[in-house]
Amino acid sequence: MQSTILFERPRFQPPRSTDVSAISVIEKKREGGSLTPEEIRFFVEGFTSGAIPDYQAAAFCMAVFLKGMSRRETADLTMSMAESGEMLDLSNVLGYVVDKHSSGGVGDKTSLVVLPLVVAAGVPVAKMSGRGLSYSGGTLDKLESISGFNVSLTTTQFIDQVQKIGIVLAGQTADLAPADAKFYALRDVTGTVPSKPLIASSIMSKKIAAGAQGIVLDVKCGLGAFMQTVEDARELAQIMVDIGKSHNRQVTALISDMNQPLGSAVGNALEVREAIATLQGQGPDDFVEHCVVVAGHMLRLAGKASAADISDVRPMLETRLKDGSAWEVFRKLVEAQGGDVSQIEHPEKLPIAPVIQDVVAPRSGYLSGIDAREIGLASVDLGAGRQKKGDPIDYAVGVMIHRKVGELVQAGEPLFTVHARTQQAADQARLRILAAHQWVDKIGLPIFYDVILDS
Ligand code: URA
Pocket test for ligand 1, best of 103, 127, 232 (most atoms within 8 A of CB): 103
User: No. of H helices and E strands in the chain?
Assistant: 18, 12
**For residue 86, which of 164, 158, 165, 188 has the smallest C-alpha distance?**
158
Condensed to tens digits (0 to 9), the pLDDT of residues 93-115 reads 888 999 999 988 999 999 999 99
pLDDT tens sequence across 246-299: 999 999 999 999 999 999 999 999 999 999 999 999 999 999 999 999 999 999
Atom 5 of ligand 1, nearest CA residue: 199
Which stretches within 13-70 are classed as H helix? 22-30, 37-49, 54-67
The alpha carbon of 76 and the centre of ligand 1 are apart by a number of angstroms equal to 17
d(CA 197, ligand 1 centre) in Å:
11
Sign of CA dihedral 238, 244, 246, 250: negative
Q: Give the helix, strand, coil percentages of the chain, each rounded to 5.
A: 45, 15, 40
Instruction: Kindly write down the DSSP assignment for every residue of 189-255, as one continuous string.
Output: TTT-SS-HHHHHHHHHHHHHHTT-SEEEEEEEESTTSSB-SHHHHHHHHHHHHHHHHHTT-EEEEEE
Give, using CA atoms, the residue closest to atom 2 of ligand 1: 203
- 298 Cα to the center of ligand 1, angstroms: 20
Query: Is residue 14's pLDDT more than 70?
Result: no
- Render pLDDT for 328-360 as a digit per residue (tens, 0 to 9): 999 999 999 999 999 999 999 999 999 999 999
Which among 193, 205, 219 is the best mutation to test ligand 1's pocket, defined by most ligand atoms within 8 Å of the CB?
A: 193
Average pLDDT value over all residues in the chain? 93
Q: What is the mean pLDDT of residues 151-161?
A: 93
Q: To which H or E segment does residue 256 belong?
A: strand 250-257
The DSSP code sequence of 352-372 is: --SEEEEEE-SS-EEEEEE-H
Query: How much is the pLDDT for 5?
Result: 40
- Out of 199, 218, 240, mutate this one to test ligand 1's pocket (max ligand atoms within 8 Å of CB): namely 199
pLDDT at 189: 86
What whole-number distance in Å separates Cα of residue 326 and Cα of residue 318? 10
pLDDT band at 16 (very low <50, low <70, confident <90, very high): low
> Among 187-191, 420-424, 434-438, which is the least confidently predicted range?
187-191
* pLDDT value of position 175: 86
The residues assigned a catalytic role are 101, 180, 187, 202, 206
pLDDT digits (tens, 9 = 90+) for 399-423: 999 999 999 999 999 999 999 999 9
Residue nearest to atom 8 of ligand 1 (CA): 103
Q: How far is CA 25 from CA 30, 48, 54, 63, 444, in A?
A: 8, 16, 15, 10, 53
Residue 424 CA to ligand 1 centre (angstroms):
33
Report pLDDT for 4: 37
- Amino acid letter, 68: G
Task: Give percent of the chain with pLDDT exceeding 70.
Answer: 96
- Ligand 1 contacts (CB < 6 A) are 103-104, 184, 193, 198-199, 202-203
> Which residues pair with residue 356 across a beta bridge?
419
Mutate to test the pocket of ligand 1, among 74, 226, 240 (most ligand atoms within 8 A of CB): 226
CA of 229 to the centre of ligand 1 (A): 17
225, exposed or middle or buried, with CB in 10 Å at 0-12, 13-18, 19+? Answer: buried
What is the reported pLDDT for 251? 96
Identify the residue whose C-alpha is closest to ligand 1 atom 3: 203
Distance 193 CA to ligand 1 centre (A): 8
* pLDDT on residue 252: 96
Kindly give the number of the ligand 1 atom that is closest to the alpha carbon of 202. 4
Question: How far apart are alpha carbons 266 and 384 in whole angstroms?
Answer: 8
> Which atom of ligand 1 is least distant from the CA of 193?
6
Cβ neighbours of residue 54 closer than 8 Å, sequence gap 6 or more: 186
Q: DSSP letter for 265, please.
A: E
**pLDDT reading at 9 higher than 80:** no
Atom number of ligand 1 nearest to Cα 187: 6
Q: Is the pTM of this model over 0.85?
A: yes
CA-closest residue to ligand 1 atom 7: 199
Within a 10 A sphere around the Cβ of 408, how many other Cβ atoms?
12
Nearest residue (by CA) to ligand 1, atom 6, is: 199
Q: What is the pLDDT, as a whole number, of residue 43?
A: 98
Question: What are the pLDDT digits (tens) for 297-320?
Answer: 999 999 999 999 999 999 999 999
What is d(CA 213, CA 191) in angstroms, rounded to the nearest whole number?
A: 32
φ, ψ dihedrals at 412, nearest 5°? 95, -10
pLDDT value of position 455: 77
Distance 275 CA to ligand 1 centre (A): 23
- 203 CA → ligand 1 middle, Å: 5
Please tell me the distance from the alpha carbon of residue 408 to that of residue 78, in angstroms, as a whole number: 46
